[in-house]
Amino acid sequence: MPLRSGEHGATAGSFHIEDVYPRIDGGRFPVKRLVGDPFEVWADIFRGGHDIVASELIWRREQDREWQRTPMTPHENDRWRGSFTPDQPGRYVYAIEAWTDLYASWKHGFELKRKAAQDAGRDANAEIGLDALEGATLLTQAQHGSPQAAAAIVGRCNAYLETGDLDALIAPELDAAMAESQPRADLTRSRLFPLMIDRPRAVTGAWYEMVPRSQSSVAGQHGTFGDCIARLPDIAAMGFDVLYFTPIHPIGTTNRKGRNNALVAEPGDPGSLYAIGAAAGGHDAIHPQLGTLADFDALVEACRSHRLEVALDIAVQCSPDHPWLKQHPNWFKRRPDGSMKFAENPPKKYEDIVNPDFGCEDAGSLWDALRDVFLFWIGHGVRIFRIDNPHTKPFNFWEWLIHDIQLKHPDVVFLAEAFTRPKLMKGLAKLGFSQSYTYFTWRTQKWEIESYLNELTRYPERDYYRPNFFVNTPDILPYHLQSGEAWMFKARVALAATLSASYGIYNGFELLEHEPIPGREEYLNSEKYEIKTRDWNKPGNIKDYIAALNRARRDNAALLQTRNLRFLPIQNDHIVGCVKQSDAGDNVVVAAIALSRDAHEFWLPLDGVQTATAEGPKAPVVLENLMSGERHPIEWGGAHLRLDPQREPALLFRCLA
304-346 per-position pLDDT tens digit: 999 999 999 999 999 999 999 999 999 999 889 888 888 887 7
The CA distance from 337 to 379, in Å, is 41
Four-residue CA torsion sign, 236, 443, 591, 648: positive
Strand partners, 592: 577, 651
DSSP run (H or E) holding 414: strand 413-417
Whether the pLDDT of residue 217 is over 70: the answer is yes
Instruction: Tell me the average pLDDT of the chain.
Output: 95
Query: Shortest CA distance to 533 belongs to which of 288, 147, 143, 221?
Result: 221
76-98 per-position pLDDT tens digit: 999 999 999 999 999 999 999 99
405 and 375 in contact (C-beta within 8 Å)?
yes
476 and 514 in contact (C-beta within 8 Å)?
no
Whether the pLDDT of residue 7 is over 80: the answer is no
| Buried/exposed 64-77: b ≥16 CB within 10 Å, e otherwise | eeeeebeebeeeee
The CA distance from 381 to 310, in Å, is 8
191-206 per-position pLDDT tens digit: 999 999 999 999 999 9
φ, ψ of residue 173 to 5 degrees: the values are -70, -15
Whether the pLDDT of residue 250 is over 90: the answer is yes
Catalytic residues: 388, 417
Query: Shortest CA distance to 611 belongs to which of 653, 652, 576, 639?
Result: 653
Residues 6+ away with beta carbon under 8 Å from 211? 245, 246, 273, 474, 507, 527, 528, 532
Residues 6+ away with beta carbon under 8 Å from 122? none
474 and 528 in contact (C-beta within 8 Å)?
yes
545-601 per-position pLDDT tens digit: 999 999 999 999 999 999 999 999 999 999 999 999 999 999 999 999 999 999 999
Interhelix angle 363-378/395-408, nearest 10 degrees: 40
pLDDT at 606: 97
pTM of the predicted structure, to 2 decimals: 0.93
Four-residue CA torsion sign, 148, 154, 158, 159: positive
Q: What is the arithmetic mean of pLDDT over 249-275?
A: 96
219-249 per-position pLDDT tens digit: 989 999 999 999 999 999 999 999 999 999 9
pLDDT at 335: 87
The CA distance from 438 to 452, in Å, is 10
The CA distance from 446 to 41, in Å, is 35
Whether the pLDDT of residue 4 is over 60: the answer is no
Residue 600: CB atoms within 10 Å? 16
3-state secondary structure (DSSP) of residue 534: coil
- Under DSSP, the state recorded for 223 is P
pLDDT at 9: 45
Is the bond preceding residue 460 a cis peptide, omega within 30 degrees? yes
DSSP run (H or E) holding 348: strand 348-354
Q: What is the arithmetic mean of pLDDT over 505-515?
A: 98
Whether the pLDDT of residue 10 is over 50: the answer is no
Beta strands (DSSP E) in 307-358 are 309-314, 342-345, 348-354
605-622 per-position pLDDT tens digit: 999 999 999 999 999 999
Strand partners, 89: none
Q: What is the arithmetic mean of pLDDT over 22-49?
A: 96
Residue 441: CB atoms within 10 Å? 21
The CA distance from 195 to 255, in Å, is 45
Strand partners, 21: 42
The CA distance from 648 to 524, in Å, is 29
Q: What is the largest CA-CA distance in the chain?
A: 109
pLDDT at 8: 43
pLDDT at 349: 78
DSSP run (H or E) holding 375: helix 363-378
pLDDT confidence bin for 13, thresholds 50/70/90: low
pLDDT at 150: 94
95-139 per-position pLDDT tens digit: 999 999 999 999 999 999 888 888 787 776 777 888 999 999 999
